[in-house]
Structure 1
């Protein structure tokens, strides 16, 4: 049976971040088995570590939600790299290189051992049209005048970014999930002071979950949108507060590159019976 672990991502304390289920040595699993297991774990993402298929990659990763497969997602990338390294994986170069549906993703480790991934290029960017903006307001139950700024920041999952006046406005949202359709909405609002720059919420009912606790891909898109402009070039984002979590996402812009990092901690280790 393949080995299995569950990693808490974006928290230095157990049970306060966003867990990802990781299945090791998954080359023999077919798509239906992966999809069925992801539905069964009922986590925001379940990942499968496989042998890489392209030069330069250290491993290949497939990422599944209860609703289907994603080409890229941030917290599964960090948690799966943590699991791969903890299981004895050794990167060929200075950085870990992950192969996934979005291509090659580079991960670095700082002196404290914290992993960060380089934000992948956006697959969709630019202004949100009037029809989509009306749909977003209906879904979030807000007036259009409450939106400070909006843009597409899709690096795979389909995110559209919405900035509100402040963190309190973000935390007060009570969305109408029946009105979302295919929308995956990331909402951000700034704190006036303190160690946290922004509060983030990620609404994605189309992926089988109403709200994702802590979201690397969304924070990557927000960093590409706002870091070094309306936000500092380096900052810490809070996410998960409304769900009783304490996610902390470390975002850094270095020239044209945006890096997204967070603490990772293994919470469950074992084997899983998936027919191998």
Structure 2
């Protein structure tokens, strides 16, 4: 049996964020055993805490969707860091954690709430005409419905659609048959003076998740694209509204680094019988 936590991420209200399943002391588990367990939990992500192989890291993290492993994902990063600390993990620095994952070494800041430094984008910039047509078809939108579209792939493969306002984001009704292997994020601004600056939605059927409730990696991509340009350098994003959640993602651009933070609370703690 191995220690287990389930952590609700990106919300201050119980059971209104995005849950991540965290298996502690996961050394010795095979890839197949990890994937089978992640498929069984059927959450958007399940993570496994392991001994680091990089001496600069505090711990190593592997991240699985129900169908595949990801090199990086946001809410699993914050939820797993929270679980590691709660279980007695002792970081080498008082101010930051160093997480080893498929995307390399990731910095996690410890202030009012945990926040990770957005990893470098693997792909950014404009989409092609063919990609634009597929994206608009998948979202059932016309050219006039969107302000801009950009790649924002930081591991999960995001392409991001900027819409004219938050209400339009909430009105999107995707055509799932047209997605192919696309993972599409949609963002639109709220009126000035609102509680949150933007509404965000994340559609990722290619990895076995139709709509993700609250998504750190996507919000990192949006911050890298729009913070300090169309959006302030520091803002709060709302996500999950369409699913009855109340996700709040804190985004801050500090120099060249975009920090993505959120609250986390453990909702389940115990042991699981996975692997040897």
Q: State the match for 1:128 in structure 2.
A: 127
Q: Could you report, residue by residue, the CA deviation over 1:115-169 in whole angstroms, capped at 9, with x for unpaired residues?
A: 0000000011111010000000110001122110111000000000100110000
* Partner Cα separation in structure 1 for residue 135 and residue 128 of structure 2: 11
Counterparts in 2 of 1:31-46, with a 5 A limit?
31-46=31-46
Q: State the match for 1:103 in structure 2.
A: 104
Q: State the match for 1:25 in structure 2.
A: 25
* Partner Cα separation in structure 2 for residue 88 and residue 120 of structure 1: 26
RMSD: 0.7
1:184 equivalenced with 2:205 (yes/no): no
| TM-score, normalised with respect to structure 1 | 0.98
Q: Could you report, residue by residue, the CA deviation over 1:41-68 in whole angstroms, capped at 9, with x for unpaired residues?
A: 0000000000000121000000000110
Q: State the match for 1:160 in structure 2.
A: 159
CA contact (8 A) 1:133 1:144 kept: no
Q: State the match for 1:228 in structure 2.
A: 228
Q: Could you report, residue by residue, the CA deviation over 1:239-267 in whole angstroms, capped at 9, with x for unpaired residues?
A: 00000000000000001010000000000
* Partner Cα separation in structure 2 for residue 242 and residue 195 of structure 1: 17
* Partner Cα separation in structure 2 for residue 70 and residue 202 of structure 1: 16
- The structural deviation recorded for 1:227 is 0.4
Q: Could you report, residue by residue, the CA deviation over 1:175-214 in whole angstroms, capped at 9, with x for unpaired residues?
A: 0111100000000000013120000000000111110000
1:140 equivalenced with 2:131 (yes/no): no
Q: State the match for 2:74 in structure 1.
A: 74
Q: State the match for 2:57 in structure 1.
A: 57
- The structural deviation recorded for 1:100 is 0.2
Query: Would you say how many aligned residue pairs link Structure 1 and Structure 2?
Result: 274
* Partner Cα separation in structure 2 for residue 134 and residue 6 of structure 1: 39
Structure 2 gap ranges (5+): none
Q: State the match for 2:11 in structure 1.
A: 11
Structure 1 stretches of 4+ moved >6 Å: none
* Partner Cα separation in structure 1 for residue 55 and residue 7 of structure 2: 27
- Aligned to 1:175, what secondary structure does the other structure show? coil
- Aligned to 2:209, what secondary structure does the other structure show? coil
Q: State the match for 2:201 in structure 1.
A: 201
* Partner Cα separation in structure 1 for residue 143 and residue 71 of structure 2: 31
| TM-score, normalised with respect to structure 2 | 0.98
* Partner Cα separation in structure 2 for residue 92 and residue 212 of structure 1: 33
Structure 1 gap ranges (5+): none
Q: State the match for 2:174 in structure 1.
A: 175
* Partner Cα separation in structure 1 for residue 179 and residue 170 of structure 2: 18
- The structural deviation recorded for 1:275 is 3.0
1:259 equivalenced with 2:241 (yes/no): no
